[in-house]
């Protein structure tokens, strides 16, 4: 199995890799995305799988007839800017390798089996995460998706059409959703729990509540060299105070929060910017702590904005409630993949398509050990032995679920 995994990995790894940074730039509906879709389709066809693209742009490879009560696995192939190689791709490559492993063992699934690749999981181009799975489940409306634009003002529909797909039927897909009997996503752990436990594979029990909030600070553009300090309405000041307030609030609430994706207008050294647009990414073990964190950040931002004669427009851009995957499914897979002792069942602060699907179908995840815990960075990695252990675990899980 390691040779098929290695070959699959070698075929995907160069696509969208930035030679200077070693990170990945894989964004929806770009030429790199098209190359990746071609790669996936060819590998699925090589396994006698039929491939279809659904109305939202998610890719589905079916072993056997698409049908009800299917066992579905897979993940995403898009990345954050300068992202790591494993976040997403490990789940898709492992799924294809697990199909090989099932074939090698002569296991004929008694239920349809599919490998899915969800589009725009990171939201790196259009700003909204888990877009493909949220369109599928109806958690995001077609209207909202149509209104999304990238930094260059290209809409989701335009980008999809330019990639040769028909954007006219975006939206919830209940028939397709009804085909899914159970969904299991394999993913590199984005943290160090398994490394600390000394376990190669774990099962996801819960996903922390988390979300993204927008904060737009508007002041007065002016000359950097001639405007007295007392005469300024510089949005950078309340923005800077907000960043430190975010850190304080996260520590205070036993949570994690980050200010990222920051845009200055204009962004040059001899102008005071008129506007600073920023995203707050906040996550906490519980919703009360999360809400309290965001409220205290918003208050600090408002007070700082008022002090500097700057206005603040803030709003919730996306919110994901806590997800508890079905205990019975998690315990069953922990036993199936754990060997002589059950695999650990753990929580995560990372959002995943499995957590979106969990609102509609039984779903959970398998995590593969990440020795450094680093993710969303070029240094992200998993050891080959743990990748192979992940494929074996996914194979066992699929064998167990397709035999049911
Ligand atoms: O951002 C996340 O939680 C995930 O890695 N997409
Ligand atoms: Mn990610
Ligand atoms: Mn991911
Ligand atoms: Mn000048």
CA 345 to ligand 1 centroid distance, Å:
19
What is the CATH number that goes with domain 1-208+322-402? 3.40.630.10
Q: How far apart are CA 103 and CA 116, in angstroms?
A: 18
Q: What's the confidence (pLDDT) of residue 275? A: 98
What's the Rg (C-alpha) of the chain?
Answer: 22
Calpha distance 14→9 (Å, rounded): 9
Domain ranges of the chain: 1-208+322-402, 210-320
Residues 47, 99: Cα–Cα separation, whole Å: 8
Question: What φ, ψ does residue 291 adopt, rounded to 5°?
Answer: -60, -40
Looking at residue 404, what is its pLDDT? Answer: 63
> What are the mean pLDDT values of the chain's consecutive 10-residue runs (404 residues total)?
94 97 98 98 97 98 90 98 98 98 89 96 95 98 95 96 95 97 98 97 97 97 97 98 97 96 95 97 97 97 98 95 97 94 96 98 98 98 98 97 83
> Is 212 marked as a binding-site residue?
yes
| Ligand 1 pocket test target in 87, 128, 351, 374 with most atoms within 8 Å of CB | 351
308: exposed, middle or buried (C-beta count within 10 Å: 0-12, 13-18, 19+)?
Answer: middle
pLDDT at 68: 86
- What are the distances in angstroms from CA 283 to CA 214, 243, 259, 355? 15, 15, 12, 14
- Class of the CATH-defined domain 210-320: alpha beta
Cβ contacts of 308 within 8 Å, gap of 6 or more: 219, 232, 233, 234, 235, 237, 238
**How many alpha carbons lie under 13 Å from residue 133 in its C-beta half-sphere?**
28
ipTM over 0.90: no
> Which residue shows structure tokens 């999360």?
290
| pLDDT at residue number 34 | 98
Q: Is 169 annotated as a binding residue?
A: no
For ligand 1, is residue 54 a contact (CB within 6 Å)? no
Q: Are 114 and 61 contacting, i.e. CB atoms less than 8 angstroms apart?
A: yes
pLDDT of residue 1: 83
**80 in ligand 1 pocket by Cβ < 6 Å?**
no
Q: 180-188 and 70-76: which strand pairing?
A: parallel
pLDDT for residue 109: 80
Ligand 3 centroid to residue 89 C-alpha, Å: 8
């Amino acid at each position: 199995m390691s040779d098929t995994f290695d070959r699959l990995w070698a075929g995907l790894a160069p696509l969208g890799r930035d030679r200077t940074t070693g990170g990945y730039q894989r964004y929806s509906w770009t030429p790199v995305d098209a190359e990746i879709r071609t790669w996936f389709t060819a590998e699925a066809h090589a396994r006698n799988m039929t491939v279809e693209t659904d109305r939202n742009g998610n890719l589905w490879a079916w072993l056997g007839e698409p049908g009800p009560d299917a066992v579905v696995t897979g993940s995403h192939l898009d990345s954050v800017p300068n992202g790591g190689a494993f976040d997403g791709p490990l789940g898709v490559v492992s799924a294809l390798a697990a199909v090989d492993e099932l074939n090698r063992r002569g296991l004929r699934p008694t239920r349809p089996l599919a490998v899915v690749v969800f589009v725009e999981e990171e939201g790196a181009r259009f700003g909204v995460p888990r877009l493909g799975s949220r369109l599928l489940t109806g958690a995001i409306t077609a209207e909202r998706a149509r209104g999304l634009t990238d930094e260059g003002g290209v809409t989701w529909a335009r980008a999809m059409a330019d990639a040769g797909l028909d954007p006219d039927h975006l939206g919830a897909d209940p028939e397709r959703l009804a085909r899914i009997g159970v969904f299991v996503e394999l993913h590199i752990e984005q943290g160090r729990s398994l490394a600390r436990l000394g376990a190669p594979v774990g099962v996801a029990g819960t996903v922390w509540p988390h979300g993204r909030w927008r904060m737009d600070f508007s002041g007065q553009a002016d000359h950097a060299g001639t405007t007295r300090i007392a005469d300024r309405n510089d949005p950078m000041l309340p923005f800077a105070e907000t960043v430190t307030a975010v850190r304080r609030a996260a520590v205070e609430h036993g949570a994690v929060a980050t200010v990222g994706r920051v845009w200055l207008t204009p962004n040059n050294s001899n102008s005071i910017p008129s506007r600073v647009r920023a995203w707050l990414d906040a996550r906490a073990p519980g919703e009360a702590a999360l809400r309290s964190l965001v409220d205290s950040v918003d208050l600090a931002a408002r007070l700082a904005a008022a002090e500097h004669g700057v206005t603040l427009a803030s709003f919730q851009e996306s919110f994901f409630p806590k997800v508890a995957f079905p205990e019975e499914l998690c315990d069953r897979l922990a036993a199936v993949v754990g060997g002589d002792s059950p695999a650990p069942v753990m929580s995560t602060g990372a959002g995943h398509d499995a957590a979106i699907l969990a609102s509609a179908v039984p779903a959970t995840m398998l995590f593969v050990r990440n020795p450094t815990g680093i993710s969303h960075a070029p240094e992200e990695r998993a050891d080959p032995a743990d990748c192979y252990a992940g494929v074996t675990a996914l194979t066992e899980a699929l064998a167990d679920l397709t035999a049911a």
